[in-house]
Structure formats: structure tokens, C-alpha cells
Amino acid sequence: MISKTTIDKIFSAVRVEEIIGEYVQLKRAGSNMKGLSPFADEKTPSFVVSPSKQIWKDFSSGKGGTAVSFLMEIEGYSYPEALRHLAKKYGIEIEEDNHELSPEQQDARNFRDLLYKIHEIANDFFRQQLFDTEEGRAIGLSYFHERGLNDATIKKFQLGYSPEQRDAFTSHALEKSYEEELLEKAGLSIFPENRAGGVDRFRERIIFPILSFSGRVLGFGARILKSNVKTAKYLNSPETEIYHKSNVLYGISQSKQAISREDQCLLVEGYMDVVALHQAGIENVVASSGTALTVEQIKLIRRLTPNVTILFDNDAAGIKATFRSIDLLLAESMNVRVLLFPDGHDPDSFAKAHPQEFVKNYIAENAKDFIRFKAEVLQKEAGEDPIRRSEMIRDIMRSIAQVPNPLQQEVFVQQVAALLKVSEQNLFNELYAQSATAQQQTKPSPQQPKLEKVENLAIDTVNPLLVLEEKLVELMLKYGDTNLRKGAETETSVIQEILNHLDEDECELLNPLNEKIIAEIKAGLENEELRSGNFFLTLMDEELNGHVANALIEPYSTSDWAKHNIYFSKEEELVESIVRDVILRHKREYVVKLIRDVQERMKNGEEVQPAEYEMIRNLLLLKNNIDQELFRIL
């Protein structure tokens, strides 16, 4: 187990905005930072990070917590894995409370952890083969050097080599006590039924590790160098529990910071395109990892930026892939530009043939918006043929129909009208026809069950007692150690004041999470410790973390009214009056609940004791007194 001292060091060192900023493009919003949720499909940012409180809250999905809980959500880490990742990132040495893990604990590691571990072992093996063996240097390393890569770039992308020996890696892994079943399920080895022993899947190939956002090895892409072998030029890892190629972008781990910083993502086709552009100093680039671009991959990019420039090959296959990618990107509300390099060049060769600044300027100056790009390409094919020209316009309008935003659609239609000398009205008619066709295609078929009207639909109402309970807990979490009635003989803390109220009235809490929080606060008081917000964020309870983050974080920031000489008191300046007000309101609602409970029993014909009538009379008097204290109009 990781020691409490180490955990405290990690929480002291970590910056939640740095960790989340590697996954989500964050922009300043008052004292907070905001971005698009990585957990929900949204167009308006509702993901809030508080650098001052070191917490985050996703108002789309309801998730929230610390940097640790964020990594657990987005990477699937366990609590100790997230802590170890952060310790490594911030250079913190991990201390263990106990001795080395027992063999039983080692055996208890789950299969997913083993998959990650065996990929690390394989990655280290392939890199060692590239640099430290004669075969690797003569074949793999010399190939990378011939392609213009220097050793720094090769190491940055952790490139490797799998030797010609049919079971080099398999034997290496088996010697380390990894089982055949794991190697086969990881897609690293093949064990044919008709022969003894295993075969390396990637043997005699150069290796491109495919990494997650945080840099974990998920799988591999591999290229064969021999031209006289009848096999696929490129070979990727098969789908596994940790590797789903449609969800991964090659180079995202090395490029994420540059993409966010530049607010622009360059999208290329191949591994070498990514690596070569990085070496040329252009680092905001990713590739679709050996598959056609997918919606899941686009969502990865959109965490960092809404702006994409496609850099595909200038051939028939590349242009076809570009057209398909354009429509997918537009449907996900991305801003799309396209650049085709001069004939005979791809991003790799172009980056090697020109200086860095020239390449950067060329991309910036020659990238076209998707309308101009499609028009230029399709016009070459259509010529002056009116039938083919009308089909060209329909093709462009099909792309515009993918755009979810009507205002953007209108601007694009105006651009097409000016560019192709077509009336806007005709273009809008075609756009409506395209949209109607798309809607018709998504309608339920006659065989599908129809939705039926639901009678007497019940609508949940807000429970004011629960709202006030949440506010009481929020005040304890935010201002628990703040002293009330300073200087008076009965000076007390916010925590003690609220607990006194709850205990005095024997209030039953409605939310089980609030019960857990208050139980922890009371346990702290027994040890002469005031436990407020930060204490709960270090607990290994994801649900509790989210609940506490929800209480601590402010989703909105007030405008700077001071510049207009208009001043407002801040909540922290009014803690004492707020606590008093909320306690009174909670007491009132609790009294109302008790009265209604008895009245409900009477309504149902249940027997009511004389003492209960007296209780209702006293409760009504108490309610009236509270109303007067709250300045209610009776």
C-alpha cells in the first residue's frame, strides 16, 4: 500500500489544471477554467476546473473530484495506479506502508493490469532490440536513419524492432513467467495448433508503439521492410481489452499539449507522417492509427481543439478518404480545413524537403476551407458538363447538411453561392432536401414499435428539505473551521454549529452521501480534528469525491462589477449570517415535514394519540416563530 505520507505529497504537488489540460482544452472563465466534457457529447462547455480548490466538476455527466479521480475515470486506472502515475509525473518517490507484495497479492492482479504490463515488457524488448543488437542496428535503425529520423525522435516515439527469429519476444516473455494465454490474448504471440511453441506476431518488422493519452502502451503498429515477402506491409495489434483502434489516435500522447497550445490539430494518414512532422518542429499532429477516421477519434481531438486541418496524400485514395473525413468532422461540429501537398509529396517527404518555418507557413497559407477544397477537386472532374456540375453542387451541399449549426449552414451556403455562381435560394432548397432525406433515413421502420402516449406522467418536484440539507453540508465542507460569534463566550465553528442543530432536532438525513460525510466529520471531532472539503477529496470513494466536488466548485463566475463601482459581498464574508439563515430554514422545513407526517396519518384513518395533537400545536407555534424570525409575511 502507498503510504499516507506519499499520498499527501502527491496531492500537494499535483496541479489539477495541468493533468486535465492534457485531455481537455481549458479556457479561463473567471477564477475557474472551462472546457467540453470528455465524458459526454456536448456543444457548450460544462466541464469546470477550479485551480484554487484543485477539483473539477462535469455538469453534463455529474462526475467530479480531484486529479486522481479524473485519471481513474478517463484512463480506467485504479486508485493506486492513478497515484503512481502522478508520482512518476511529479518526481515523487513512493513509500510503501507494508513490505513487498505477497505472491498471493501478485497473483490477484487482474487481467487488465497484466495486459498493460506485458505491453510495457514488449515495448522495452523492441526498443532494446533496435539499439542494442547487431540485427536491430543493421536493419531497423539504419532504416529509420535512411528515412531521415535522428535518435532523439526515435526515442521520443519509442520506435523499436522485432527480430527475424520466429519466437524472440515470445521466448523472452515466457522466461519472465508470463503465460501463453496472456501473450495470445494481448495479440503479441500466435500459438498454432499444429506446431509446438509460439510465433511472434510482429517478427522482422519495425515497431511503432500506440500510446494512450497518458502514454500507456496499448498496442503496436509494425511495418515489414522486405519487399519480396507476400504479406501485409503494415500490421496492427488486434482488438484487445485495452486496445480499440477506432478509439485511438497515433501520436496523441506526444502531441496533445501542442494541439491545445496551437488550438489546431493536423490530421495525417501514416505513422511516419506524424514522426517526421514532429522532427520538423510541427508537433500538433496525429494519425488515425491504421483505420478510417471514426467519430470516437474525432471526439478525442475535440477535447483539445475544434479546429482540424487534414493533410492527406494528393492521390485518388487520399482525396476519397479526405471527403469521407470531412463529413464526419463537420457532423461533430469541427472547423475543417484541407491541404493537399504538391504532386509526389506527402507530409513525411515534404517535411524532410523543406525548413521548419517554410513547412509551417505553407500549411497555414495553403490550407483551404472544406468548401473551396471540394469545389476545386470536383470542378476538375465536372468541367463544363452541366449535369456533372449539378452533381458537384449536390455533393458539397451533402457536406453542409452534416453541420448541426443552422447559422453556420447559412454562412456556408452564402460562400458556395458566391464561389459557384448559384442562387442562394436554390442552394437552400437543395440543403432542405438533403436534410429531409437524412431525417427520412433515420425514421423508425414499420417493423419497429411505435412510441405510445403515457398517461398521468408524474413530474418530480424539488424537495426543499433536501436542498437545505445539501446547503448545510456544503457550508461544513467549505467553511467548516470558520469561527462564528468571534469574541463571544459561546464562540464555535461552522461544523459544530450545524451539527448541534442536526443533533438537537434529531434530523434524519435524506441523502446517504451526506450521512457518510457527517459521520466522517463526527469521527474527526472525536480525534480533535475538523474535517472539511480537502479531507474528503483524498478518500478512495469516487461517488463521495464527486459529491464533495459538486459542493465546493462554483459553475459560474460573477462579472467584474467593481470596474463600474458596484460592489457585492462575497459568500465567505457572510458565512455567519448564511449559516444562521440556512439552519433556520432547514429547521422550518423539518417542522413542516413532521406536521405533514401526522396529518397524512390522520388522512389515512390511522389512530393519532392526544400527545400528537399537542405536538402539532407546538410545532405550528414553532413554525410561526421561525417565519417571523425569517421575516416571512403571514
Find where cell 486508485 sits. 79
Q: What is the amino acid identity at position 100?
A: E
Mean pLDDT of 29-51: 87
Strand runs (DSSP E) across 492-593, as ranges? 492-493
Q: Which is more confident, 435 or 467?
A: 467
Count CB neighbours of 128 within 10 A: 14
Give the C-alpha distances (Å, rounded to integers) separating 505 from 35, 229, 446, 498, 591: 43, 83, 60, 11, 9
What pLDDT, on a 0 to 100 scale, did the predictor assign at position 342? 81
What pLDDT, on a 0 to 100 scale, did the predictor assign at position 69? 87
pLDDT at 445 exceeding the cut of 80: no
Q: Which is more confident, 33 or 534?
A: 33
CB within 8 Å of 514: residues ≥ 6 apart: 469, 470, 473
For the ranges 422-426, 496-500, 563-567, the lowest mean pLDDT is seen at: 563-567
What pLDDT, on a 0 to 100 scale, did the predictor assign at position 500? 87
Alpha-helical regions (H) of 241-315:
252-262, 271-279, 295-302
What pLDDT, on a 0 to 100 scale, did the predictor assign at position 559? 55
What pLDDT, on a 0 to 100 scale, did the predictor assign at position 108? 39
pLDDT at 106 exceeding the cut of 70: no
pLDDT at 504 exceeding the cut of 90: no
Do residues 438 and 559 touch, judged by C-beta distance below 8 A? no
Classify residue 564 by its DSSP letter. Answer: G
Locate 33 and state its grid cell. 477554467
CA distance 58 to 40: 9
What pLDDT, on a 0 to 100 scale, did the predictor assign at position 565? 62
CB within 8 Å of 86: residues ≥ 6 apart: 10, 13, 14, 19, 67, 68, 71, 92
pLDDT at 107 exceeding the cut of 70: no
Helix (H) or strand (E) holding 116: helix 111-132
Q: What is the amino acid identity at position 237?
A: S
pLDDT at 632 exceeding the cut of 90: no
Mean pLDDT of 138-161: 95
What pLDDT, on a 0 to 100 scale, did the predictor assign at position 634? 41
pLDDT digits (tens, 9 = 90+) for 266-314: 999 889 999 999 999 999 999 987 678 999 899 889 888 899 999 987 7
pLDDT at 364 exceeding the cut of 50: yes
pLDDT digits (tens, 9 = 90+) for 177-232: 999 999 999 999 999 887 778 899 999 999 999 998 888 899 999 999 887 677 77
- In whole numbers, what is the pLDDT of the chain averaged over residues? 83
With bands split at pLDDT 50, 70 and 90, how would you rate the model's confidence at 489?
Answer: low
Helix/strand/coil for 401: coil
One-character DSSP codes across 73-103: HHH---HHHHHHHHHHHTT-PPPBSSSSPPH
CA distance 477 to 533: 4
Mean pLDDT of 570-595: 84
Q: Which is more confident, 421 or 106?
A: 421
